[in-house]
Structures are given as C-alpha cells and as structure tokens.
Amino acid sequence: MADLKTDVRFIRGIGEQRASALAKLGIHTLRDLISWFPRRYEDRSQIRRIADLTPGETACTAAMVAAAPTVSHIRKGLDLVKVRAVDESGALDVTFFNQSWLKNSLKPGQTYVFCGKAEGNLLLRRMTNPIVEPEGRQEATGRIIPVYPLSAGVSQRILSRSIRQGLDACADIMPDVLPDQIRRDHQLCHIGFAYEHIHFPTSFETLELARRRLAFEELFLFTLGLRRLRQRRETAPVEPFHPVDMEPFYKALPFTLTAAQRRCVEEALEDMTSGRSMNRLCQGDVGSGKTVVAAACAYFSVKNGRQAALMAPTEILARQHYEGLAPLLEPLGVRCALLTGANTAKEKRTLSAALAAGERDFVVGTHALITGNVEYHRLGLVVTDEQHRFGVGQRAALAGKGDHPHTLVMSATPIPRTLALILYGDLDVSVIDQLPPGRRPVQTSFVDSSYHPRIYRFLRKLAGEGRQAYVVCPQVSEREEGGDEQKAVTEYATKLQQEVFPDLRVAYVHGKMKPKEKEAVMSAFAAGETDILVSTTVIEVGVDVPNAAVMVVENAERFGLSQLHQLRGRVGRGPWQSYCVLISDNQNEETRQRLKVMTKTADGFQIAEEDLRLRGPGDFFGQRQHGLPGLRVADIGCDAQLLREAQAAADALLERDPELKSCPATAGRMAELFTEAADTLN
Ligand code: ADP
Ligand code: MG
C-alpha cells in the first residue's frame, strides 16, 4: 500500500462502484476516507433483557426466535413479516414492513440481536423494523456505532465498511505528524489508535482519547500555520509608506467620521508607515461604517504610488462597494475598477492587463481577485471585507499576490474572545465601537405565521410611504442545499406578487442566479425600483440600501442569532424608523427563547455570546463554514483549554526549531493544509 494519497478505488474491498459513490461525498483518497469523521455516535453496546426494555426507548436485546416468521400480504406494496422472540425474561413481538426476505433468514431456535425502539406493556414488548443481526456476527449492534454525515447513494453501512477497509489498509503506514515528545508530554494516544477509535470506539473512554488526540493535532498544526504566516510577515521588511495629506479624502465625504472610525484609520496608517507589513482586523458591528475605513486606507496606499484591492465575499457586495466608492475616489485621482465572476473572460483579460500595467489604482472584486491569472503592478494594500467568509488560506493567497502587501480585514461578526484568538490569531485588532450619529434602533418583533395578513398590510403601508422591504426565506432543510432554497424564494415571490401585492413591485434574488441577473436585481432595488425583495441570505452580508426599512424573516428558527443580527443590520441604515419581523411557528421552548433575544438587544457581541451559549460553538459559524484549514474534530469554543495546550506546544517547538527541521512530517502536513485551503478558491 502506497500512502494516504492513494485513490480509494485501489483499496482492498472498495471497487470502482463504491469509489464513485464515495466521490459524491468528496472522498477520493485514503486520507479523505479515514478523515470522514462520524457526526455522532449511538450507544448500542448494552444488550438488555427483554423485560428491561423501556417502552419508548431505543435499545438492543438478544432473543431467540420462537417460531417460524409469518408473512402477510396486506395490499400491493405492503407486506408484513411477524416473528416472536423470547429470552428468559419475557417475549418480544417484532414486525417488519416490506422485508419479506427475512421470513427465510430468521431461523427458529437461533438467537438474534434486535435493536430498535421498544413499545408495548409489561407483559409483551414490541418492536417495529428493528435492526436485526445474528448474535455473534454483529456489525451494527453490540457496540458504539458511528453515525456519519451522508449523501444519497451511500449508506451508513457502506461507509462504515469502507472506512474499516481504509483503516486496515493504512494501519502500518499512518505517519504521525505529532513529534513523539509532544505526544508524550501532552498524554496523547498514538495516531493509529486515534483513527481506529474515532470510528470504532470500544468505549466512550477510548473515544474521548481519540477525539482529544485528533483535536490537539488539528489545533497544533493550525497554530503552526498561523505562526508561520505571522513570522513571514514580520521578518520581511517592507518599504514604509510615507505620510499623506488625508484632508482631500475627508472633505469629499458626505459626513464626518466618527471618533471610532478615525481611530481605526489612524491605527492602520500607522501600521503602513512602520516598515513592517500591516495585518490588521477592523471589527465593527453592522452599520458601524467599515467601508469608509477601507476607502481611507486605499486612498492612502494609492497616494503612496501603490495599488489597493478590496475583496468582498459576494458579487452583489463587490458591485455595491464599487458603485459607492468609485464616485468618491475617482475625482481624487484614484482610478477604480471592478472585477468579479460576472466579467467575461475578455473583460477580465483587459482589466488584468490594465492592473499589471499599473493603469488602475484601486480594484474592487470578489475572490476573482486572487485567482491565478490576475497580476498587479505594485500591490500595496489588500482589504478583505466580511472576513468570516474567507479562510486564513485565502488571506494568505491574496497576500501572496504582491510583495508583502499590507492587509486589512473587515469583520462584522462579533466574535467571543476564545474564538477570535483562533480565527485571528495572526492579526492586530481595531474595533469600531460606535455607530454613526442619528441611527434609530430597529424595532424587532417575533410572531407566528398567523400574523401574515397583518405583516402584509404593514408592508403595503410602508411601501405607500416610499420605503422598501426585504423578505428572507431560508432553505427548506439543512440537507438540501441550494436547489430548495431557490425554489422557496421564487415560489414565495410569485405568490406575493400575484396574490398579495399585484400592485407593488416584487423581485427576488438567490445564490443560484447568474451574476449579471443578481446585479440587475440588486441595483434595481438599490435604485428604489423594487418595493419588496424576496431573497435568500445572499443579502445577509454587507448590502447597504438605506431606504429599506423592513426586514421580514420567514422560518426564523432556521437561522442562528448571529445570522439574524446580520440580516437585521440590512435595515436601520437611513433616517427612518426601521423594523425587523421574525416569523416562526416553532414551538420548541429553546428556539423561542433564542429568537426572543433578538427583540431584547441590538448589541452584536451580546447576541454572539448568547448564540454561542445556546447553540454551542459547532453551529456558531455554520457547519464547516469557518474556513479554518483542517479543523474537523476540534470544537473551536469547547476546546479552549486544549487550544492553549496546543498553542504552547507549537510555540515551544518553533522556539527550539523554527524551520521544523526535526519533524518533516509535521512541516509537510502543515504546508499541505494551508495550501489546500488556498486552493479551494480556484
Ligand atoms: P458596515 O460595513 O460597517 O456594516 P457601512 O460601511 O456599509 O457599514 O456603512 C453603513 C452606512 O453608514 C452607509 O450608508 C454609510 O454611508 C454610512 N456611514 C458610515 N460612516 C458614517 C458616518 N461617520 N456618519 C454618517 N453615516 C455614515
Ligand atoms: Mg460592510
């Protein structure tokens, strides 16, 4: 067996067919396979006596089939197999739907393990469609069972068998990326043990040992990667920017900066004149006015004869930044450009050539800005907006475009401290802790869907006053991505237009639309040509339409608090009283508490803390959305103590051996993780 990069199709027991099913999950290599970690575990290790089965609970019991199963054909498409099983404590009646083959495989006198939800009373227990396996030849019972995230065409059984094969195939070749000494110092188990027991734990103790080891490893490598980024930046001297008269820029603004904005600008300018490259996070709640801070820095860079780039997470946002900033900066002699996925290949080439020739000073765009073939003339500053959508790797990729350009990261996500430490461990931080004057708090209410008629009347009234509204629909279920979200949006928009507001202008926008279509819809909305915009969360981030005064969120229970806070931040940007209406029929008490938080506070940090407390950190950034390279087991939030340990270990190692010469496996894996993260962009 070669190594962890081996294609899964060459692993014993996994053929072409299974390999292509696995490929749908993104599992291609042996490493992908064994790193497909369970989402949770089911404890089927206890085998109970029939008499000890509690009605309503799922459990396993071992019992002997008392008589040959009977089959009854109820109607077309419905066959029942019934069988009675017994142990010394009692009897269990088992019914299977449409599994008539069991009639012949369940043999009287033989003992089987049945695992399912028990029903019935003290005299007779029942189970419907339990898992059944011959005693002594069990695969899915009698132990702790991993439950994997799946997609169509791959079952738990196939996955867990494939992973078994995968683990057997690499038992002897698994390289340990943790240096031995560190492993021993921190009492971590061997790599082989860790992979074995994260998938097939023999007890919850071995599971925890495995999890701890893998989480530590992730945090350790991650820290090394961050330290490496910082180190590169700090050791590379850059030509310091010279001071620039900022007055023309400030004079051109339609408002004066708040004290907080001014402080952030000053901190950034100071970094850029220091002779080291800036790596700063500018954190400010929604609506605090981060864009103008970015513009000030761009102006500063351009007046130093260096190009500046502003990278936004969506087309819509990039376009909006461009449309807001170009009219401000062009008259000041800053030649602006917009580069997104919406540009044709030819436009991209022309623009790229202009950038490379230094004929443009400031470019705004999406991650098209960092794809391989865009070249710059003298890139001096890179600003990324709404950073939580981008990973550390992306940050590195853009920074790699120039000769150590300064980087400024703008984020509206109020992040609890422990998380900030991980996410932005390599950054200096400025906070905009003040909103522009004259803002009125958004009035937020939380209602159930019986309020729809009233909400519609309210939307109509505000439209009459010239205001605009957003209506946000979430995707229907977490499993189904994209497609359903799109359907929810188009159907709802059609209904609103045809049945509710035939006289108003209703439009919709979702992530699956072509960039040009999205742009058209958004600019029409921004220009006031639409009254009601039905949308997915594509508008969650950053969009600024001050005339929009209502945000209606359907099925609000499907959103996290921080996400709702972002959504609500889209309104309340103009001089009008604004409203946010959260609609949910969910009866779950916890959910209702969570949504009520929104009606009580507008403070993003408080909301984030609350979100973290109620939902747990796993959900805080949405699954796998944090964009942190390689963090799959570690729970950034719960593993704070482990993080500190891993950071200490990484720092101590770098102190001893800055080039990681003593541990090539560690260095190699770290490099891999950080380039993989950068690659996902292209
Ligand atoms: P953020 O990106 O932090 O959510 P924006 O940069 O989009 O916020 O700014 C929100 C709105 O506030 C914009 O319409 C912007 O023009 C306006 N704004 C920003 N700074 C000020 C200020 N100092 N005074 C008045 N309005 C401001
Ligand atoms: Mg913004």
Express each pLDDT in 510-542 by its tens digit.
878 887 888 889 889 988 999 999 998 777 665
Which atom, in ligand 1's list, is nearest to the CA of 546?
14
446's enclosing H/E stretch is strand 443-447
* 89-135 confidence digits (pLDDT tens): 999 999 999 988 899 999 999 999 999 999 988 778 999 999 999 99
Query: Considering only CA atoms, which of 71, 96, 73, 93 is closest in space to residue 84?
Result: 93
Which atom, in ligand 1's list, is nearest to the CA of 293?
6
User: What is the C-alpha separation between 310 and 328, in angstroms, rounded?
Assistant: 15
Between the CA of 292 and the centroid of ligand 2 the distance, in Å, is 9
Tabulate helix, strand, coil % of the chain (nearest 5): 45, 20, 40
User: What is the C-alpha separation between 526 and 514, in angstroms, rounded?
Assistant: 18
Which one of the ligands is nearest to 325 CA? Answer: 1
Supply the pLDDT for residue 223. Answer: 85
**Maximum mean pLDDT: which of 61-65, 543-547, 602-606, 658-662:** 61-65
Strand blocks (E) in 546-603: 548-553, 579-583
User: What is the C-alpha separation between 675 and 477, in angstroms, rounded?
Assistant: 32
Residue at 285: amino acid letter: D
Q: How confident is the model at residue 494 (pLDDT cuts 50, 70, 90)?
A: very high
- Look at the block and give the residue holding tokens 């001014």: 262
Mean pLDDT to the nearest integer, 1-7: 77
Supply the pLDDT for residue 515. Answer: 77
Between the CA of 574 and the centroid of ligand 1 the distance, in Å, is 10
User: What is the C-alpha separation between 522 and 545, in angstroms, rounded?
Assistant: 10
DSSP 76-109: TTEEEEEEEEEETTEEEEEEEES-TTHHHHS-TT
Supply the pLDDT for residue 63. Answer: 95
Which one of the ligands is nearest to 310 CA? Answer: 2
Which atom, in ligand 1's list, is nearest to the CA of 291?
6
Region class of 312: left (phi > 0), else alpha (psi between -120 and 50), else beta: beta
pLDDT of 616 > 80? The answer is: no
Among protein residues, the one with the nearest Cα to ligand 1's atom 24 is 436
Q: Which of 261, 413, 544 to mutate to test the pocket of ligand 1 (most atoms within 8 A of CB)?
A: 544
Tokens linked to 202: 């023999």
Spell out the residues 6+ positions from residue 211 whose beta carbon is closer than 8 angstroms to its own.
Answer: 198, 633
Supply the pLDDT for residue 186. Answer: 95
Contact 486, 512 (CB under 8 A): yes
Query: Considering only CA atoms, which of 148, 165, 167, 197 is closest in space to residue 39?
Result: 148
229's enclosing H/E stretch is helix 204-235
* 367-424 confidence digits (pLDDT tens): 888 776 788 899 999 998 875 555 555 556 666 666 678 989 888 766 665 566 666 6
Between the CA of 287 and the centroid of ligand 2 the distance, in Å, is 7
User: What is the C-alpha separation between 51 and 229, in angstroms, rounded?
Assistant: 61
Q: Which of 249, 255, 282, 440 to mutate to test the pocket of ligand 1 (most atoms within 8 A of CB)?
A: 255
Residue at 205: amino acid letter: E
Contact 63, 90 (CB under 8 A): no
Between the CA of 435 and the centroid of ligand 1 the distance, in Å, is 8
User: What is the C-alpha separation between 581 and 583, in angstroms, rounded?
Assistant: 6
Region class of 482: left (phi > 0), else alpha (psi between -120 and 50), else beta: left
Which one of the ligands is nearest to 288 CA? Answer: 1
Which atom, in ligand 1's list, is nearest to the CA of 438?
25
pLDDT of 678 > 50? The answer is: no
Supply the pLDDT for residue 398. Answer: 60
Q: Which of 263, 288, 432 to mutate to test the pocket of ligand 1 (most atoms within 8 A of CB)?
A: 288
- Look at the block and give the residue holding tokens 């330290």: 227
Supply the pLDDT for residue 511. Answer: 79
Which atom, in ligand 1's list, is nearest to the CA of 284?
3
Supply the pLDDT for residue 485. Answer: 66
User: What is the C-alpha separation between 439 and 611, in angstroms, rounded?
Assistant: 25
User: In the predicted model, what is the mean pLDDT of the chain?
Assistant: 86
Other Cβ atoms less than 10 A from the Cβ of 585: the count is 11
Which atom, in ligand 1's list, is nearest to the CA of 261?
23
Q: Which of 74-83, 332-341, 405-414, 417-426 has the lowest mean pLDDT?
A: 417-426
Tokens linked to 520: 């058209």
Between the CA of 258 and the centroid of ligand 2 the distance, in Å, is 16
* 224-236 confidence digits (pLDDT tens): 887 877 777 677 7
Q: How confident is the model at residue 583 (pLDDT cuts 50, 70, 90)?
A: very high
Which one of the ligands is nearest to 573 CA? Answer: 1
Which atom, in ligand 1's list, is nearest to the CA of 385?
2
Among protein residues, the one with the nearest Cα to ligand 1's atom 23 is 257
Count H helices and E strands in the chain, helices first: 22, 23
Supply the pLDDT for residue 39. Answer: 85
Supply the pLDDT for residue 627. Answer: 47
Mean pLDDT to the nearest integer, 479-493: 69
Give the single-character DSSP code of 372: T
Contact 567, 551 (CB under 8 A): yes
User: What is the C-alpha separation between 646 and 558, in angstroms, rounded?
Assistant: 34
Query: Considering only CA atoms, which of 376, 343, 346 is closest in space to residue 361?
Result: 376
* 431-454 confidence digits (pLDDT tens): 898 888 888 889 999 999 999 999
Supply the pLDDT for residue 162. Answer: 93
Residue at 212: amino acid letter: R
Q: Which of 253, 292, 568 to mutate to test the pocket of ligand 1 (most atoms within 8 A of CB)?
A: 292
Contact 41, 70 (CB under 8 A): no
Phi, psi of 605 (to 5 degrees): -70, -40
User: What is the C-alpha separation between 219 and 419, in angstroms, rounded?
Assistant: 12
Mean pLDDT to the nearest integer, 644-649: 91
User: What is the C-alpha separation between 644 and 647, in angstroms, rounded?
Assistant: 5
Which atom, in ligand 1's list, is nearest to the CA of 544?
7
Instruction: Decide: helix, strand or coil at residue 471.
Output: strand
Among protein residues, the one with the nearest Cα to ligand 1's atom 22 is 436
Between the CA of 286 and the centroid of ligand 1 the distance, in Å, is 9
Which atom, in ligand 1's list, is nearest to the CA of 290?
3
User: What is the C-alpha separation between 424 and 268, in angstroms, rounded?
Assistant: 16
Among protein residues, the one with the nearest Cα to ligand 1's atom 2 is 290
Supply the pLDDT for residue 475. Answer: 60
Among protein residues, the one with the nearest Cα to ligand 1's atom 10 is 287
Among protein residues, the one with the nearest Cα to ligand 1's atom 15 is 289
User: What is the C-alpha separation between 339 and 535, in angstroms, rounded?
Assistant: 24
Supply the pLDDT for residue 425. Answer: 66
Residues with a CB atom less than 6 Å from ligand 1: 255, 257-258, 261, 284, 286-292, 412, 436, 542, 544, 546, 573
Which one of the ligands is nearest to 386 CA? Answer: 2
pTM over 0.85: no
User: What is the C-alpha separation between 588 and 590, in angstroms, rounded?
Assistant: 6
Among protein residues, the one with the nearest Cα to ligand 1's atom 26 is 436
Between the CA of 532 and the centroid of ligand 1 the distance, in Å, is 23
Among protein residues, the one with the nearest Cα to ligand 1's atom 17 is 289
Give the single-character DSSP code of 499: I
User: What is the C-alpha separation between 342 and 368, in angstroms, rounded?
Assistant: 10
* 169-213 confidence digits (pLDDT tens): 888 788 889 999 999 999 999 999 999 999 999 999 999 999 999
Which one of the ligands is nearest to 260 CA? Answer: 1
User: What is the C-alpha separation between 659 and 538, in angstroms, rounded?
Assistant: 42
Between the CA of 545 and the centroid of ligand 1 the distance, in Å, is 11
What's the chain's Rg over C-alpha atoms? 29
3-state SS track over 125-188: EEEECCEEEECCCCCCCCCEEEECCCCCCCCHHHHHHHHHHHHHHHCCCCCCCCCHHHHHHCCC
Between the CA of 358 and the centroid of ligand 1 the distance, in Å, is 30
Instruction: Decide: helix, strand or coil at residue 7.
Output: strand
Instruction: Decide: helix, strand or coil at residue 239.
Output: coil
User: What is the C-alpha separation between 351 and 581, in angstroms, rounded?
Assistant: 43
